[in-house]
Amino acid sequence: MFDLFKRKKGQPAQTEGDPSMFAGFLEYFGEKPVLEVGAADPYDAFIDGLGGRSFGNGVFKSFGRSDLSKWYGIVDCPLFSRLKGRFKVFGYDWRGRVFAVNQNDDDYGNVILLNPGNLKFLHIECPLLEFLNSEIPAYADACLDSEIYADWLSSNAPVGRMECAGYRIPLFLGGEDSLDNMEVSDMEVYWDMTGQLWEAVKDLPEGIKIGNISFE
Q: In the prediction, which pLDDT does 36 show?
A: 57
List pLDDT tens digits, range 124-147. 999 999 999 999 999 999 999 999
Taking the C-alpha atoms of residue 158 and residue 93, their distance in angstroms, rounded to an integer, is: 12
Read off the pLDDT of each residue in 163-187 and give the average, rounded to a whole number: 94
Read off the pLDDT of each residue in 32-51 and give the average, rounded to a whole number: 81
Say if residue 29's pLDDT is above 50: yes
User: Of 157, 155, 154, 159, whose CA–CA distance to 144 is shortest?
Assistant: 159
Say if residue 8's pLDDT is above 50: no
pTM of the model: 0.84
Say if residue 17's pLDDT is above 70: no
What contacts 24+ positions apart, CB below 8 Å, involve 30-38? 30/5, 30/6, 31/55
Percent of residues, the chain, with pLDDT higher than 70:
81
**Cross-strand partners of 93:** 60
Q: In the prediction, which pLDDT does 2 show?
A: 33
- Helical packing angle, 68-75 and 187-201, nearest 10°: 20
Q: Give the chain's mean pLDDT.
A: 84
